[in-house]
Amino acid sequence: MDYQVAVIGSGPGGYVAAIRCAQLGMKTAIIEKYDTLGGTCLNVGCIPSKALLDSSEHFHAASHTFKEHGIDINAPKVNLKQMIARKADVVKQNVEGVDFLMKKNKIDVLHGVGSFVDPHTIQVVGKESKKITAEKIIIATGSKPANLPFVELDKDRVITSTEALELKEVPKHLIIIGGGVIGMELGSVYGRLGAKVTVVEFLDRIIPGMDSTMGKELQKSLKGLGFEFHLGHKVTEVKRSGKTVTVKAEDKAGKIIEVKGDYCLVSIGRKPYTAELGLDAAGVKVDERGRVEVDNHLKTNVDHIYAIGDVVKGAMLAHKAEEEGVFVAESIAGQKPHINYNLIPGVVYTWPEVASVGYTEELLKEQGRAFKTGKFPYKALGRARASMDTEGLVKILADKETDEILGVHICGARAADMIATGVTAMEYRASAEDIARMSHAHPTYMEAFKEAALAATENRPIHM
Amino acid sequence: MSLQMKVPAVGESITEVTIAAWNKNDGDTVAMDEVICELESDKATFEVTAEVAGKLIIKAQEGDSLEIGAVLCEIEEGAGVQEAENDEAEEVADSISAEPAKPTGEVLEMKVPAVGESIAEVTISNWSKSDGDFVELDEVIAEIESDKATFDLTAEAQGNLQIIANEGDTLEIGALICKIEVVEGAAPSSSTDQTQASESTTLESQSSKDTYATGHASPAAKKILDEKGIDASSVSGSGKDGRITKSDAVEAKKAEPVPTPLAEASKPAFAPPQIQTGVSRVQTREKMSSLRKTVSRRLVSVKNETAMLTTFNEVNMQPIMDLRKKYKEQFKEKYEVGLGFMSFFTKACTMALKEWPAVNGQIDGEELVFSDYCDVSIAVSTPKGLVVPVIRNAESLSFHQIEKEVVRLATKARDGKLSIDEMQGGTFTITNGGIFGSMLSTPIINAPQSAILGMHNIVERPVVENGQVVVRPIMYVALSYDHRIIDGRESVSFLVRVKQLLEDPTRLLIGV
């Protein structure tokens, strides 16, 4: 065999798996069909969207809060071309970082489309076509944006998240189909830059899957940004004529609405990507939703082939894929790692951010578990007043009997970074009182975390 | 009025005990049912509790060997000691209010004493008193370790203790250990002591109480335990509320509730070096447990006091393996216990012991004792050390009864629940080093018995049968015996007989 391990796909799951394999002394190759490494996350996902979110947030602050901070400037103007160029540069730095990591760990990078010839052989077709064999193979081919069957994506005005990161102009009216994380983030970008944003969502809440309090808080905040929401509406038609895109949707009563805009972003989720992979040649099974079937050890039905990340079941998150990459690499090396899927945090990078880990209130109610709730609003926080980031709250759910923290949900400034404490606490099965008894630096946003823990312990926050 | 406390009868055949340790000092005030000393017999150690409350007067010293019924100590039941009766308690209360203890305002600083010429620093191994406790003059308040020895630190004054240095701290000679706020007058009556004691127990029991998180392994600890194949429930966590920390997991060892060669016990008592990344020169020291002390003393005395030697033979295990294979399922179904090798070996030994009674005998002073029955001791390795429970009248038990007894005793041994009765009085011992992979060993006799059979691993070896070299599963067996009572002819014939019975188990059935 040419390699001990071959990884197909170089997203955060694939490249992390490759590095961990190399660290554990295995001869490793990684196969990537695009010119740059890093997959969706680095090229057309997490990183570029954060770059645009930060730029647009600066613009929004300059337009709205500078004055109150005592900074008088002329009305700022959007230079979208520069924003996109800066974003491209951020992406470039990141993918080059992955290139460096591959070299440093002596991992062979093969550019081209990898497909199975047989269970141990992969044909790579691209700039440097070659056939390689490997003892173990990790499928990490990720996902692509999903689409509605009746919608024609022209990738010009009816677009997916990928195109939304490359627009040449700020839309006048952006219609977003799907109230999930991606739609809310990209909607925020263009909403802050001046677009009118209309969201059409099939369910009766946005960011479904997260605690309902978070959805309500975020919706309130986005409405403040000028978002219009049509929840509980099923899209029936998307039609483009010239520069106008018309979206028709009906509510549960059958009442039809029509929204006209100049761009329509379809962000209804993502689907696993296995085309061109030749799974049949390897005998690897996929399930009815196109996901590669794996067991609890992320092993496919073929003994030496594993799959990780978006291409398998579970949340489509970069950090989930990374954990799985490490898990598989260590499993191959004979170690016994573990992933607590309940403690993989979820984050929405709007402003205020939303972050959450563990059980939601809805899930606990469904389970019939007795729990206590502790909440603390940002507006009672000195730090938040100082920065004018007073939207949002921290919500901690704890077991009624044992006080063990069961879920942490934050909507507010820096929630994405704060959630790590929730994960740490829950990995150690800390109680709400444990957190409440730890010193938190003042003044910080994390004080809201401590206060919410006090509230959850026995409803005794200090600053409320 | 004073009460004499005597060595209690602790087991049928035990005539003598040794005082392992006094937990209290001469002159200490003890409460009823408080543990005052630890006794050791040749079977086990047990604790002696005060029969009444009062002042302790020690009559026998640590290390003394005493016969059952000999006087251990006296307890003076005096004033200042709370009795169970209420009226007396009231009297006590009166006497307290009449003569209260007075703080003098003086604070005495206690420093690390010079304990030896070459010793520059010491470590506090544990505080026997807590911060804020009332201590009496000369009362032991802490145990201190140097690299040469451990010694007790006693209070230099009577009063309230303020702890400055914590357990595990290393201090130079002369460094401050604690302060005592000196209190004059009578020591607070034992009723106060008891209140304090009960308070501190409540506090402790709260902090050591099991919570939902007790035994929860941290992410790194969980991975380590999984890799070692150790169940988290068998590890005691040192983290907050008993959480299992990474270092708990690194140090955790798999419990082996299975027979082990007696010879195993002669290894040093220190924990095996932990495998760590990088080079380490770390040594760890821990106190010998009473069980370990007993085991080590007895093993050395057997080596010194008997004429021990070992004879060897080899056993072709094929017939037993075939037999097991054939009847394993049926046996399990009928008796709900697996058919192991132990029943075959036990049966073979009891039959051979009948034929060579000296192997089943013992020396008792000037006399030889021969038993009509075979009580077979089984060496079992437990997390705390080696124990040797006994299968009674093994000669009259059937295979399934023996297997069940082995399981029952091994489980109790692992849980540390064996009674003294269950461990004493064996006439012969079987030990199995094979489960750890031992090829050959010379086990040490389990005194006062005269012989021990060592089982070993089963390995396919070339043997010659009818002029042909064939491969057979072979086990080497070893019999260590006391030549004072067993002659070479007897020991060798015994072992040959065991071999015959095992190689042709039909013989067990028809007794030839």
Residue of B nearest to A334 (CA): B227
Using DSSP bridges, classify how beta strands A305-307 and A130-139 pair: parallel, antiparallel or unpaired. parallel
Q: At what angle do helices B399-414 and B341-355 cross, to 10 degrees?
A: 110
Option in B216, B223, B227 nearest A429 (CB): B216
Q: Does B367 touch chain A (CB under 8 A)?
A: no
SS3 call for B348? helix
pLDDT average, residue stretch B253-280: 55
* Beta carbons of B211 and A336 less than 8 Å apart: no
Say what the pLDDT of residue B78 is. 63
Q: Tokens for B142, please give them.
A: 């802490």
Query: Which residues on B lie below 8 Å from A402 (Cβ)?
Result: 211-213
CB pair distance less than 8 Å for B216 and A338: no
How confident is the model over B35-39, as a mean pLDDT? Answer: 85
B436 to A328, B306, B320, B432, B440: CA distances (angstroms): 32, 27, 20, 8, 11
State the Cα–Cα distance between residues A183 and A265, nearest whole angstrom.
8
pLDDT range class, residue B494, cuts 50, 70, 90: very high
Interatomic CA distance for residues B143 and B128, integer angstroms = 7
Instruction: Tell which of B206, B207, B214, B223 to mutate to test the A interface (max A CBs under 10 Å).
Output: B223
CA-based nearest distance A22→chain B, Å: 19
Interface test with A, best of B210, B227, B245, B246 (most A CBs within 10 A): B227
Rounded average pLDDT over B80-106: 50
Cβ separation B212–A399 shorter than 8 A: yes
Nearest CA-CA distance, residue B250 and chain A, Å: 14
Q: 331-370 in A: which are within 8 Å (CB) of B?
A: 335-338, 340
Q: Identify the band that residue B102 occupies on the pLDDT scale cut at 50, 70 and 90.
A: low
pLDDT given at position B472? 94
> pLDDT-based confidence at B273, cuts 50/70/90?
low
Question: Region B46-75: what's the mean pLDDT?
Answer: 85
Q: What is the pLDDT of residue B275?
A: 53
Q: How far is CA A177 from CA A243, A268, B308, in A?
A: 18, 6, 89
pLDDT in tens, B174-198: 888 888 888 876 554 444 444 443 4
Better-scored residue on pLDDT, A66 or B138: A66
Size of interface A-B (CB pairs under 8 A): 32
Average pLDDT across each block of 10 residues of chain A; the chain has 464 residues. List them in order: 96 98 97 96 96 97 95 96 97 96 96 96 91 97 96 96 96 97 97 97 94 95 95 96 96 95 97 95 95 96 97 96 97 94 96 96 95 96 95 96 95 97 95 94 97 94 89
- Give the residue, B148 or A314, on which the prediction is more confident: A314
Does B298 contact A at CB distance below 8 Å?
Answer: no
Nearest-CA neighbor of A162 among A170, A171, A153, A149?
A: A153
Interchain contact B246–A (C-beta under 8 A): no
B365 has a chain A CB within 8 A of its CB: no
Name which of A323, A327, A344, A429 to mutate to probe chain B: the one with the most chain B Cβ atoms within 10 A of its Cβ: A429
Q: Which residues pair with A39 in a beta bridge?
A: none
One-letter amino acid at B153 equals: L
pLDDT at B193: 43
Q: How high is the pLDDT of residue B279?
A: 67
Q: Which two tokens stand for residue A164?
A: 């939304």
Phi/psi of residue A235, nearest 5 degrees: -70, 130
In the three-class reduction of DSSP (H, G, I as helix; E, B as strand; rest coil), residue B140 is classed as: strand
* Phi and psi at residue B392, to the nearest 5°: -75, 145
Residues of B in contact with A431 (CB under 8 A): 213
Nearest to A412, CA basis, from A451, A358, A356, A453: A356
Decide if pLDDT at B43 tops 70: no
Query: What ipTM was reported for this prediction?
Result: 0.73
Query: What mean pLDDT do residues B85-94 have?
Result: 44
CA distance B195 to chain A (A): 29
Q: Does A443 touch chain B (CB under 8 A)?
A: no
Contact, B226 vs A338, CB < 8 A? yes
Dihedral sign, Cα of residue A123, residue A124, residue A130, residue A134: negative
Active site residues of B: 483, 487
Strands A305-307 and A196-200: unpaired
The residue among B79 and A133 whose pLDDT is bigger is A133
Q: Which pair of tokens denotes residue B193? A: 């002591």
How far is Cα A308 from Cα A117, in angstroms, rounded to an integer?
Answer: 20
DSSP state at residue B244: B
What pLDDT does B495 receive?
Answer: 96
Sorting pLDDT into bands at 50, 70 and 90, what band is B85? very low
What is the CA angle B390-B396-B400, rounded to 5? 75
Residue B93 pLDDT exceeds 50:
no
N- to C-terminal Cα separation, chain A: 65
Q: Taking CA atoms, what residue in A is nearest to B210? A: A402
Whether pTM exceeds 0.90:
no
In this structure, the strands spanning B451-455 and B428-432 are parallel
What DSSP line would sit under B162-215, residue for residue? EE-SPTT-EEETT-EEEEEEEEESSPPPHHHHHHHHHHHHHHHHHHTS--TTTT
Structure confidence at residue B241 (pLDDT): 86
- Of residues B380 and A233, more confidently modeled: A233
CA distances to A95, A105, A414 from A42, rounded to whole Å, are 7, 19, 21
What is the structure's pLDDT at B278?
A: 58
A232, A18, A196, A172: which is closest to A105 by C-alpha? A18
Q: Of A340, A402, A427, which is closest to B212 when you measure between CB atoms? A: A402
Q: Report yes or no: A434 at the B interface, CB cutoff 8 Å.
A: yes
Question: Judged by CB atoms within 8 Å, which residues 296-335 of A form the interface with B?
Answer: 335
**For chain B, what percent of residues have pLDDT higher than 70?**
82
What single letter denotes the amino acid at residue B459? V
SS3 annotation, chain A: CCEEEEEECCCHHHHHHHHHHHHCCCCEEEEECCCCCCHHHHHHCHHHHHHHHHHHHHHHHHHHCHHHHCCCCCCCCCCHHHHHHHHHHHHHHHHHHHHHHHHHCCCEEEECEEEEEECCEEEEECCCCEEEEEEEEEECCCEEECCCCCCCCCCCCEECHHHHCCCCCCCCEEEEECCCHHHHHHHHHHHHCCCEEEEECCCCCCCCCCCHHHHHHHHHHHHHCCEEEECCCEEEEEEEECCEEEEEEECCCCCEEEEEECEEEECCCEEECCCCCCHHHHCCCECCCCCECCCCCCECCCCCEEECHHHCCCCCCHHHHHHHHHHHHHHHCCCCCCCCHHHCCEEECCCCEEEEEECCHHHHHHHCCCEEEEEEEHHHCHHHHHHCCCCCEEEEEEECCCCEEEEEEEEECCHHHHHHHHHHHHHCCCEHHHHHCCCCCCCCCHHHHHHHHHHHHHCCCCCC
Asked if pLDDT for residue B81 goes beyond 50, the answer is no
Which residues of chain B make contact with A340, given a CB cutoff of 8 A? 219
Q: Which residue of B has its CA nearest to A426?
A: B218
Pick from A141-150, B39-48, B83-92, B233-242 the range whose average pLDDT is largest: A141-150
Beta bridge pairs of residue B111:
B176
Q: Which residue of B has its CA nearest to A327?
A: B223
Contacting residues of A for B213, CB less than 8 Å apart: 402, 404, 428-431
Select the residue of A336, A340, A428 nearest B226 (Cβ to Cβ): A336
Closest CA to B379 of B476, B260, B202, B479: B260
> What's the pLDDT at B185?
66
Chain B contact for A429 (CB, 8 A cutoff): yes
Q: Is the peptide bond before B257 cis (omega within 30 degrees of 0)?
A: no
Percent of chain B surpassing pLDDT 90:
32
CB contact under 8 A, B218 and A427: yes
- pLDDT of B265 higher than 70: no
State the DSSP string of B66-98. EETT-EEEEEE--TTS--SSHHHHHHHHHHHHH
The residues with which B360 forms a beta bridge, in sequence order, are none
- The string of pLDDT tens digits covering residues B364-377 is 988 999 999 999 99
The pLDDT of B249-255, averaged and rounded, is: 80
The percent of residues above 70 in pLDDT, for chain A, comes to 100
- Encoding tokens for residue A146? 């999903």
Structure confidence at residue B150 (pLDDT): 67
Tokens coding A462: 């200090």
Q: Would you say B7 and B34 are in contact if contact means Cβ atoms under 8 Å apart?
A: no
Q: Coil, strand or helix: which one is B268?
A: coil
CB contacts of A429 in chain B (<8 Å) are 212-213, 216, 243
User: Is B218's Cβ below 8 Å from some Cβ in A?
Assistant: yes
pLDDT at site B80:
46
Mean pLDDT over B144-172 rounds to 80
Q: Is residue B7 predicted with pLDDT exceeding 70?
A: yes
Range with the lowest mean pLDDT among A379-383, A434-438, B131-135, B216-220?
B131-135
Q: In sequence order, what are the residues at sequence separation of 6 or more whose Cβ sits closer than 8 angstroms to the Cβ of residue B278?
A: none
Cβ proximity of B49 and B36 under 8 Å:
yes
Q: How far A337 CA sits from the closest chain B CA (Å)?
A: 5
Any CB–CB contact under 8 A between B209 and chain A? no
The model's confidence at residue B419, banded by pLDDT at 50, 70 and 90, is confident
Give me the active site residues of A, please. Answer: 442
The pLDDT score that the predictor gives to residue B86 is 46
